[in-house]
Structure 1
Amino acid sequence: MNSQDANVVAKLIAAIGHPHLGKCLCAVLDGTVSFDMSCLYLFRFDQPAELLHNGYNGQVSARTLDAYSRGGYLLDPFYVASTHRHPGGLWRMSDLAPDSFFYSGFAISPDLHPCVSSTHGTSIDEIGYIVHLQARAALVFSVMKSHKRGAFTDSEVEYLQAVAPVIRAVLEHHGRQLPHQLDSTDVDSKLESAFVGALGQLTEAQRYIAKLLLQGHSNASIARQLSISEGTVKVHKHNLYQRLEISSHAELFRLFIGYIAQTAR
């Protein structure tokens, strides 16, 4: 380690417990990993997403970030991984995402998803560290590259892996020094409250399938998750669509968006 690297790490350690930690994390990557945006979120099961570092550099509107924090995060693969016992570490969004995620309403909605580029419907490459703090609570530090610049290169990913132990240790200590206690959560809960509010007239099984659909799972993926046939999934979909008086995934997504809009009033 040269003196410049030592200075960066020293600043990183000094930033633990302070709001500017995100900027110091970015400094660790600057010069080796090229990225356009960054963020640090605290994800807790059934709690609003908390943005601890806004490195979107003015490319994401306050309205989008507000909608995301009020419920959009429930469809984010990083949130799902953070609160549903997925292993921590360095993960690409594309590796966490369900099979139909990049065709889902969330993934192509610049009004709800901060990681959609300014060109409507085009995604960016996102890679992030998931650091679990306790059951169903994690810090996630992500960096994002716009579609115009291509994906993160193999050498960039190698560097991100190389510094992962430092990033993990810093975020673990930062989590212990957050100015509020991490709320204990009901680990036996099956449905996040926003989904219950948006889809309250469905049965519990129908709400769970609706949640998986909204998160970007195909019929085949849902069948695998629930150990049922695709035909049974289709029956459940037909019944929940009938109960909600809708006929498509797009309408289901609009119901969810409508619920989030109502919570802002």
Structure 2
Amino acid sequence: MSVNVEGLFAAFGSFVGSNTLTDGEFGEAFRRMMQALVRFDHVVVFAYCGSERPIDLYSTFDHDEHIVFVSLYQVGPYLLDPFYHTARERREGVFRMRELAPDRFFSSEYYRSYYVQTGLAEEIGFFVPTSEGITVVLSLMRREERGPFPATEFSLLRKVEPLVAAMVRHYCVRLAQRFSGTASRSRRRAKPAGASRTAATVWRGLKLSAREALIVELVLQGHSSESIGLKLGIATGTVKVHRRNVYRKLGISSQTQLLSIYLKNLEMGASM
């Protein structure tokens, strides 16, 4: 695809000279700019703040698509999303989903039960950490029938990333106050980088140790036993022992059942 220079200039013209833009205006300007550069089917912009539920700032989904990509995602599946974990690490740049996903992500129960519902061939995200402790993620999505982004288009997105980051930092401001009306910015920043809402709520009352809870969360994210062992600095055999103990304690025999318990307890924790 050749760059649509006229469309690109028109996109710039929609925000040049404006000190402020609404979420919708900013999202539309971003969509038009990307449309002049690459081919895609959907755009969605999320703001992430620690382990809090992400805020959707803009999307191009119809009603049914919005349920899957946004409403259902915000209920709990976001906690297993590679984009969410990358945002929490405050990494900056533009990445393909497959670059960030754990080694068994595409065979995980999360992928089979939730992600396949999106019908996506690929998702690429611009990750922009802001001074408020927020990470804004602007995603471009291509459906299965269109196929993944070609290397030439991904290369072009990498070149435009500094401009996208500058736009986000200029226009996406005062987002922290939209996550919690009572928690101050300093309190949010005080949370340990590795803290997870799931450790405090999802496995509460299930008699799992902290190590067991961490391991099953990594399993659900799509990590193999080998990957978990490397991540935690323990033997693969030890990981497998922990997994067997968890399954025994929970009275289950499959990852499908594990995910079901996870989502059920997540909903219960959110309502408390």
Task: Please give the range of the TM-score, normalised by the shorter of the 2 chains.
Answer: 0.7 to 0.9
Residue 196 of structure 1: aligned partner: 200
**Structure 1: where are the runs of 5+ without partners?**
none
Match of 2:54 in 1: 49
Per-residue CA deviations over 1:17-59 (Å, capped at 9, x if unaligned) read 4122111101001143111111000011121111111222445
Contact 2:15 2:29 in 1 (8 A): yes
Confirm whether residue 106 of structure 1 aligns to residue 110 of structure 2.
yes
Cα offset for 1:260?
3.9
The reply to whether residue 243 of structure 1 matches residue 249 of structure 2 is yes
Instruction: Tell me: CA distance 1:61–1:29, structure 2 relative to 1, closer, same or farther (3 Å).
Output: closer
Q: Which runs of 4+ in 1 moved over 6 A?
A: none
Provide the rounded CA distance (Å) in 2 between the counterparts of 1:134 and 1:81.
17
Cross-structure match for 2:182: none
SS in 1 for 2:43: strand
Distance 1:232 1:25, change over 3 A: same
What are the superposed Cα offsets for residues 50-72 of structure 1, whole Å, 9 maximum, x if unpaired?
11112224452426632311221
Structure 1 segment 154-169 matched on structure 2, within 5 A: 154-169=151-166
Question: What residue identity is the alignment partner of 2:128?
Answer: V
Partner-residue secondary structure (3-state), 1:108 = helix
Q: Residues 16 and 170 of structure 1 are in contact (CA less than 8 Å); yes or no, is this contact kept in structure 2?
A: no
Instruction: Report the CA distance between 1:147 and its aligned residue.
Output: 1.1
Aligned sequence identity (%): 26
Structure with greater proportional helix content? 2
Question: Once superposed, what is the RMSD of the aligned Cα atoms?
Answer: 2.6
Provide the residue aligned with 1:215 in structure 2: 221
Matched, 1:138 2:135: yes
Number of residues of Structure 1 aligned to a counterpart in Structure 2: 257
Aligned to 2:168: 171
Task: Note the C-alpha offset of 1:75.
Answer: 0.7
- TM-score normalised over the length of structure 1: 0.86
Taking a change above 3 Å as real, the CA distance of residues 37 and 59 of structure 1, as seen in their structure-2 partners, is farther
> Deviation of residue 95 (structure 1)?
0.2
Aligned to 1:5: 8
For 2:36 and 2:54, the matched residues in 1 are separated by 30
Unaligned runs of 5+ in 2: 180-184
**Secondary structure of the structure 2 residue equivalent to 1:228:** coil
Judge conservation of contact 1:49–1:69 (CA < 8 Å) in 2: yes
Instruction: Please report the TM-score for the alignment, with normalisation by the length of structure 2.
Output: 0.84
